[in-house]
Amino acid sequence: MSGPSQSIRSLLVAGLLAAVAGTATAQAINATLSQPTLDRWNYPFASNPGYEKIAPSFGAIEVSGFDDRDGQLLVGYNTGAHVPTGHPANWYQVESVILTVWVGVDAQFVYDPSFDSFRTLLQTTDPLYQADADAGKPVEVFGVGFRNGFSLLTFNENSPFGGTPIVPPAEGNRNAFPAIFDTTGTVGTDVSRQVRQHFDAEPLAIGTIPETEGVLPGELVPVGVPMVFDLNGCVSGGQAFLRQCLAAGRIDLMVSSLSPAQGGPEGGTGDPTYPAFYTKENPAAAALGKYSQLEITVTVHNPADFDNSGFVDTDDFDAYVRAFEAGDDSADIDGTCFVDTDDFDAFIRAFEEG
């Protein structure tokens, strides 16, 4: 990767000297939020949203009037008491976010820790159909998007499920939905109907069960087992989405599975074969301390103070240029997991602002 020439560098530094200003040094934060601020079964027929004791997660695959991702678990955590809010989003360098939820049904679904294409859920007569290489369907976690006037800080446990009508036929109308985000982390695409819309959606994480639990892929999952989601900030828009959430003071995540309740090549009637999870209202979760939990590791600092000296000056500019020219991960200012000219431009803007 080639960086700016020495002459360009000199001109830039000379032109930006007025930006020198004091700032705080990098602040590394590790926080464990042992209970969600809110959780709800995000399902159109939930009789008591926000207070259900269990949240089944299943798909209504290509069933008219329902989303493919029909039953979902929404969890939200207020982070402001642990991570300072109100800074520009690029001040938050998210190192790790790990969500843990607890299985609330016994031996009802098969453990599948691998990604499955939407093609494996099409009818077998569909020319795009692709056989699944393994048993089961993964449990996935996505960021959360909003519609119908709701936002991250206004959608709560007992907010309305959707617009009018809130029950079928109402595809694509839920107020809070699992989403994949653009590189700004602000524009979310609803993945609730991805099977009928024919696109694959990469989640922030696929749920895994710790090896110590002794559950192997393809086996039925016992009740009370933890399912862990180690979020991947390098998924498109992942880091940017998490940065926006931390700046606002709340992280909302949607746990979802396309295990069919009916329809699709694996669906039909009979005993349920999909996962369900404890909510914080569940007495067993309360007695055993098995609340959905979020662990965060984040560094909060002004990206213009690249050398973490507590001041923005020409030393920061020189240090950034060296990292940029070397293609070092630390030069990834915009959080896309790539070092490119967009990062250089982002650093210049931050430097100008001091």
- Over the stretch 34-84, which tens digit does the pLDDT of each residue have? 999 999 999 988 888 899 999 999 999 999 889 999 999 999 999 999 999
pLDDT confidence band for 221 (50 / 70 / 90) = very high
Residues spanned by the domain of 18: 6-25+312-353
In this prediction, residue 49 carries a pLDDT of: 85
pLDDT confidence band for 124 (50 / 70 / 90) = very high
In this prediction, residue 17 carries a pLDDT of: 42
pTM: 0.90
**Is residue 138 within 8 Å of 112, Cβ to Cβ?**
yes
pLDDT confidence band for 169 (50 / 70 / 90) = low
Considering its fold, how many domains does the chain have in total?
Answer: 2
In this prediction, residue 261 carries a pLDDT of: 87
Question: Would the pLDDT of 269 be above 60?
Answer: no
Q: What angle do CA 256, 262, 265 make, to 5 degrees?
A: 95
Do 231 and 348 sit in the same domain of this protein?
Answer: no
Do 139 and 257 sit in the same domain of this protein?
Answer: yes
Give the model confidence (pLDDT) of 202-212 as tens digits. Answer: 999 999 999 99
Give the model confidence (pLDDT) of 81-110 as tens digits. Answer: 999 999 999 999 999 999 999 999 999 999
Query: In degrees rounded to 5, what are phi and psi of residue 314?
Result: -65, -25
Do 265 and 326 sit in the same domain of this protein?
Answer: no
Identify whether 1 is part of a domain: no
Pairwise pLDDT comparison (51 vs 4), residue with the higher score = 51
* 192 CB-contact burial (10 Å; exposed 0-12 / middle 13-18 / buried 19+): buried
- Within 126-240, strands assigned E span 139-146, 176-181, 188-190, 205-206, 226-230
In this prediction, residue 13 carries a pLDDT of: 45
Identify whether 303 is part of a domain: no
d(CA 199, CA 167): 25
Per DSSP, the residues of 281-312 read T-HHHHHHT---EEEEEEEE--TT-TT-SSEE
Picking from 197, 160, 191, the residue whose alpha carbon sits closest to that of residue 257 is 191
In this prediction, residue 167 carries a pLDDT of: 62
In this prediction, residue 47 carries a pLDDT of: 85
Identify whether 305 is part of a domain: no
Question: Would the pLDDT of 353 be above 90?
Answer: no
